[in-house]
Structure 1
Amino acid sequence: MPALDDLRVLDLTRVLGGPYCTMLLADLGADVVKIEPPGGDFVRDTPPFHQDDDSFGGYFQSVNRGKRSLELDFTDEADRADFLSLVEEADVVVENYRVGTMEKFDLEYERLAAINPQLVYASMRGFGDPRTGPSPKQHEPAFDLVAQALGGVMHLTGQEDSPPTKVGFGVGDIFTGTLHAVNILAALHYRERTGVGQYVDTAMYDAMVSLAERTVYQYSYTGEVPKRQGNSHPTLYPYNAYEATDGYVVIAALGDRHWHALCEAMDRPGWIVEYPSAQDRLESRDELHAEITAWVAERTVDDVTDTLSPAVPCGPVQTIEDIYESEHIRCREMLVEAPLANGEETVTIAGTPIKMTKTPPRPNGRAPLLDEHRDELLDDPEDPIERIRMDGRSSHVGLSDGGSNDD
């Protein structure tokens, strides 16, 4: 029995952050109904596409797996009525529109809560909602790049002599989406104890400041603005990436035990006495860095990791091709196969990092075609979520694990 298989989530989100949040809930067993505007979530048309099926691209498949789709036009009175009929029995509504958008359709939180007082209404925006705290920026749009820039993440990312650099993946979306799922689950726990729903809100700007928490206390303690340091750490050493003959390897010998093991592996026993404390090593980071860099440069990545592991925390800088070949990834089921909407092929998508012993989550089927589930959601008198609540069993079909097919 999946942990959330008695919950229905009405998902009005688009693009990445909101869909990633509701994907986590779907992986945990919730019945997530993706309510899409006319034409659908525009990410459906974002490449790459599989050569045998252009129903939607890999971007949409990855973060919308296991959901059902219903196309509704909120400018249409009948469609708004259909939405409200779903709200009556829903547990959660999630949306990531700009402030005031739902009010334009008379579908704001207060209206929905009057219909269903147990509803958890969760908004995810760039700059939050006035209900949880006003901001002069709340009517501005925001995407991942904007959130990373404003929240201090870009300022601290990159080499010291390079321009500010965004994190390669959409952490402004994905980290916010993850926090939003936590927000929703906390509100559901409160509802379980009180019988009362509430409005919850997670802002991308806020989430990036939380992600960059180190800069907050550094500035408070020192009065200095932290600078970019590439792959190194401002207060710890050794903690960096080093170039080997065939790639890069990271070494993080932070504790004394790790440091002693590194000195012995490098045949530098004198360093143990010469640099006995973390502060000593930090103050001498330049000369130590030159020595460690030279030592690694003469070896392959495998030579370095075989010599240091497991006594010293280290690892290769892997490509996605390396990850596909990783035994750890296979054992942990972090690559799963999703069927195409049309055709017999499957594609590989990321599995779930959330692991549980009693109610293990797993991606539940492919992403939906636009409006694929209209009949069962609006016309079927024996709704699957009601059957779930009656007998405690999920009706989802799971994905296969492992696999290494090309997307």
Structure 2
Amino acid sequence: MAGPLAHLKVLDLSRILAGPWASQVLADFGAEVIKVERPGKGDDTRQWGPPYLRDADGQDTADAAYYLSANRGKKSITVDITQPRGQALIQQLATQCDILLENYKVGGLEKYGLDYRSIRALNPKIIYCSITGFGQTGPYAKRAGYDAMIQGMGGLMSLTGVPEGQPGAGPQKVGVAVADLMTGMYAVSGVLAAVIHRDRTGEGQQIDLALLDTQVAWLANQAQNYLTSGKSPERQGTAHPNIVPYQAVPASDGYFMLAVGNDAQFIKFCEIAGLQQIAANPAYSTNSARVQAREELVPVIERATQMQPAGWWLEKLSAAHVPCGPINNLEQVFADPQVQARGMVLEQTHPVAGKVKTVRNPVGFSASALDYGQAPPTLGEHTEEVLETLLSLDGDEIAALKRDGVV
């Protein structure tokens, strides 16, 4: 296998999004990822449709698009961990792997002998990453956590949406499951840090990662705004709390994003917009002044931008190196020449659909080519292969496990 992590094996007991997103990144980077699923059912997201992947005849398959988004590059095996023989299989696989990912409720795997303490006894070097809603400790540790509720609890929805007092005001969640996705990305970095630690010391460890912790951590400048000022930031629509103008502005035929990041860019914008007197006014000449004067300045800017269509603004501002961009739907995103030039869409061979498209990993390595040969697997596609190659089970043993519903 290609990729910088080709020497690592990952046993993935996670499902839904945060854990699978982490293991997909690890797979993209070359790790061998074994996805463990329930016999006959699989990851819940296989049924989270429509839309579903269609086969060569145009009929819906058993796999929803949601599942496809987070499971590229993995090998799927089905094991019933509620059965003792299923637990034994997972324990044996854990001795062959470097990393184990799981997102069961706190204590949920202990009764199966698959908790960290049990697995560590079998493989002291294992890196065991536990993803939960609220972490292994604290008053909420036993609660289930899902992305939408975490966006609310973690403050993101207080920052997202139309400002209070305007039509349509109220909290909004982000259009993708960002708490899950960011937890997955933190899991990747945490796992790789633990790999480095193990390479130096020979010591494995458990990683305790919570959706709520993650959501609070990546509030970034907004969290720091509160900690510095003692005042909770409020929803500002598309506007930025610390930069002006930095928001969607109206053109004569729609909207575009204007992202003026410094005073020199503001002067250039004003020259194009015919607002030279604004740029020369000390009340608006610095970003700090513009933030203070937001309510009086933004309407002036919006009256100017409405005089021309969005395409005109994008052409003129881009030529002057003033950051701006269109507000694209996804059809427009994937038709964008830059997105196409960067090869952001992968087309992989799929055993049922013939071909399946997914979005490639955005990381490019100069010396470690990535291999995207494995499409999101069908349920249990690799059960026999993994049991044969990693556990040396023969055909009769595997047939008996299938007969008894263990795999």
TM normalised by structure 2 equals 0.89
Q: 2:185 aligns with which of 178, 185, 188?
A: 178
Runs of 4+ aligned residues of structure 1 deviating over 4 Å after TM superposition are: none
Tell me if the contact between 2:180 and 2:211 (Cα under 8 Å) persists in the aligned partners: yes
Task: Give 1:154's aligned residue.
Answer: 157
Task: Give 1:135's aligned residue.
Answer: 138
- Name the SS for the 1:259 alignment partner: helix
Tell me the CA shift for residue 37 of structure 1: 2.0
Task: Give 1:397's aligned residue.
Answer: none
- Name the SS for the 2:82 alignment partner: coil
Tell me, in whole angstroms, the C-alpha distance in 2 between the residues paired with 1:382 and 1:292: 67
Tell me the C-alpha RMSD between the 2 structures. 1.6
Tell me, in whole angstroms, the C-alpha distance in 2 between the residues paired with 1:247 and 1:175: 31
Give per-residue Cα distances to partners, 1:350-385, cap 9 Å, x unaligned.
1111121111335332111111111111123798xx
Task: Give 2:210's aligned residue.
Answer: 203
Task: Give 1:36's aligned residue.
Answer: 37
One-letter amino acid matched to 1:239 = Y
Tell me, in whole angstroms, the C-alpha distance in 1 between the residues paired with 2:222 and 2:72: 36
- Name the SS for the 1:205 alignment partner: helix
Task: Give 2:262's aligned residue.
Answer: 255
Task: Give 1:388's aligned residue.
Answer: none
Are 1:351 and 2:371 matched, yes or no? no
Give per-residue Cα distances to partners, 1:313-360, cap 9 Å, x unaligned.
11011110111111111122211113343143x232211111211113
One-letter amino acid matched to 1:335 = V
Instruction: Name the % identity.
Output: 34
Tell me the CA shift for residue 80 of structure 1: 1.1
Tell me the CA shift for residue 143 of structure 1: 0.6
Task: Give 1:119's aligned residue.
Answer: 126
- Name the SS for the 2:109 alignment partner: helix
Task: Give 1:316's aligned residue.
Answer: 326
Tell me, in whole angstroms, the C-alpha distance in 2 between the residues paired with 1:280 and 1:330: 40
- Name the SS for the 1:360 alignment partner: coil
Tell me, in whole angstroms, the C-alpha distance in 2 between the residues paired with 1:20 and 1:370: 17
Task: Give 1:375's aligned residue.
Answer: 384
One-letter amino acid matched to 1:332 = R
Tell me the CA shift for residue 181 of structure 1: 0.7
Q: 2:249 aligns with which of 242, 252, 260?
A: 242
User: Gapped runs of 5+ residues in structure 2?
Assistant: 393-407
Give per-residue Cα distances to partners, 1:265-305, cap 9 Å, x unaligned.
11222222202211222222223211221222222221111
Task: Give 2:399's aligned residue.
Answer: none
Task: Give 2:19's aligned residue.
Answer: 18
Give per-residue Cα distances to partners, 1:93-134, cap 9 Å, x unaligned.
0000100111011211111111111110001110111xxxx2
User: Gapped runs of 5+ residues in structure 1?
Assistant: 384-407
Task: Give 1:391's aligned residue.
Answer: none
Tell me the CA shift for residue 225 of structure 1: 1.5
C-alpha change, 1:102 and 1:270, in structure 2 (3 Å) is same
Tell me, in whole angstroms, the C-alpha distance in 2 between the residues paired with 1:147 and 1:381: 38
- Name the SS for the 1:56 alignment partner: strand
Tell me, in whole angstroms, the C-alpha distance in 2 between the residues paired with 1:25 and 1:343: 25
Tell me if the contact between 1:243 and 1:293 (Cα under 8 Å) persists in the aligned partners: yes
Tell me if the contact between 1:4 and 1:28 (Cα under 8 Å) persists in the aligned partners: yes
